[in-house]
Structure 1
């Protein structure tokens, strides 16, 4: 039996459901954000922290994808572009959650390039560029592949606004809202219950 892949940023939040293949790297990028309780640091806050995360996450990626981009040194501009990419993805995924079941998520526009090759399996996208541009291109390719395979809608951020941890929804009907129902789900349900009681002029039982 193949051992579970442990992504460094996602592991901080005890995220059990990792996306398959290279989409797991996209999920790990999302989970570099500062969230949780107690609050974890933002792994893209400084160049040193970002380089440490990137090196570790790319090393993990090599176990699931032989086309993983190589590690590289970051500069301030590259770090800024990584942050912008992460926030664009988080914002896009957050719009896919409401009171109803999850809906398909539109892939945000990413200004980067990818190569297209034609073979016996049809047209395929391949990442292009060096450094951060290679990373951004790789993310674009993974998002496009997931959209084509209809798995993009399974990559979500927790519906708890105090969490927003990224997880991969493996439920049959793709209806999960929480990265962990025993923590985020229960917390949100209790808040909603107390809010309903307050509207009715009642107090919650102890």
Structure 2
């Protein structure tokens, strides 16, 4: 039975059923530290205090399901916070590129940026295993990239998405059978975007008919 984990950043607005499995849930939580949603949630990586608080809570949740969870960086300095924020923003931008300007159009391919980290490898009865390496934030960054690599090989990376509503952009895990979800919440985000797109099409047709 899978242990239920409450991810602190995602819990600010995300449905529990949309949480990513295992260590990928921590990656989703990192993505959801950004300022987003409606009402707008604060950026949890904006200051050292809020970042340390989030890391402590999120890594504690991760340790419940993964014994290889990195330790909380202590102390967290401005340089480490900047590297963590840069990683989050690069990943969010890469996931957002998968959305077309018009959500009714097919999504484009997601290109994850090249990010260098170090990792250790061990060989055992279960085969080769990657383990995070580095001190402080570098260990956290290493863990995130290992989880993304594992998700890529397991073909679950494509299910980690950000909401197609630019006013939301919340990260969610698409559990639909055909992996076709566009919205973090179809009720709050999907309907709003569909109405906006419909009005834009009507306006365009109106302008065209008068020309």
Q: Structure 1: which 5+ residue stretches go unaligned?
A: none
Distance 2:198 2:105 in 1: 17
CA distance in 2, matches of 1:148, 1:100: 27
- Could you tell me which residue of structure 2 aligns to residue 173 of structure 1? 178
Separation (CA, whole Å) in 1 of partners of 2:151 and 2:42:
29
For 1:142 and 1:101, the matched residues in 2 are separated by 27
Deviates more, 1:154-163 or 1:63-72: 63-72
Matched, 1:110 2:115: yes
Cross-structure match for 2:155 = 150
2 CA distance for matches of 1:101 and 1:5? 33
Tell me how far apart the structure 2 counterparts of residues 43 and 127 of structure 1 sit (CA, whole Å): 23
> Could you say if the C-alpha distance between residues 15 and 108 of structure 1 is closer, same or farther in structure 2, counting changes exceeding 3 Å?
farther
Q: Does 1:9 pair with 2:9?
A: yes
SS at match of 1:107: coil
Whether contact under 8 Å (2:120, 2:133) holds in the other structure is yes
CA distance in 2, matches of 1:199, 1:128: 54
1:50 maps onto 2:55 in alignment: no
* Number of residue pairs the alignment of both structures matches: 202
Distance change in 2, residues 1:117/1:105 (3 Å): farther
Shift, 1:3, TM fit: 5.8
Unaligned runs of 5+ in 2: none
Residues of 2 paired with 1:157 and 1:77: CA distance?
Answer: 27
Q: Which residue of 2 aligns with 1:87?
A: 89
Q: CA deviation at 1:8?
A: 0.3
For the residues of structure 2 that align with 1:194 and 1:104, how far apart are their CA atoms?
A: 27
Question: What SS does structure 2 have at the residue aligned with 1:124?
Answer: strand
Displacement of 1:124 in angstroms is 2.1
Distance in 2 (CA, whole Å) between partners of 1:3 and 1:180 is 24
RMSD: 1.7
The residue that corresponds to 1:40 in the other structure is: 41
| Map of 2:30 onto structure 1 | 29
Q: For the residues of structure 2 that align with 1:120 and 1:108, how far apart are their CA atoms? A: 33
Q: Counterpart of 1:200 in 2: which secondary structure? A: helix
Preserved CA contact (<8 Å) 2:3 2:64:
no
CA distance in 1, matches of 2:186, 2:3: 24
